[in-house]
């Protein structure tokens, strides 16, 4: 029984590893849709601050994606 369970876990991990890019892109697309709302009456300094926030957010999302990918690779070995 234990060998069969181990095989099933390995299959699941392989499927996850193969699809992690797709899952991550779906998550990013859903979050981007939330961020696409227009806010009227912004001043220039608000736009600069928002630009910095978006850049930091993109860096964090990329770092999270890379961490998830490395963890999936480590588990599959």
More confident residue, 21 or 32: 21
Domain span at 47: 2-76
How many structural domains comprise the chain? 1
More confident residue, 65 or 76: 65
Confidence class for position 3, pLDDT limits 50, 70, 90 = confident
Confidence class for position 45, pLDDT limits 50, 70, 90 = confident
Q: What's the whole-model pTM score?
A: 0.43
Q: At residue 33, does pLDDT exceed 70?
A: no
What is the Cβ-side half-sphere exposure of residue 30, based on CA atoms within 13 angstroms?
6
Cα distance from N-terminal residue to C-terminal residue, the chain: 21
For residue 57, which of 21, 23, 31 has the smallest C-alpha distance?
31
């Amino acid at each position: 029984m234990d060998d069969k369970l181990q095989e099933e876990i390995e299959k699941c991990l392989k499927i996850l590893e193969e699809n992690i890019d797709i899952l991550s892109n779906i998550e990013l697309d859903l979050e981007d849709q939330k961020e696409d709302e227009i806010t009227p009456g912004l001043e220039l300094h608000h736009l600069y601050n928002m630009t910095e926030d978006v850049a930091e957010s993109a860096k964090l999302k990329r770092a999270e994606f890379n961490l998830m990918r490395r963890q999936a690779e480590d588990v599959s070995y």
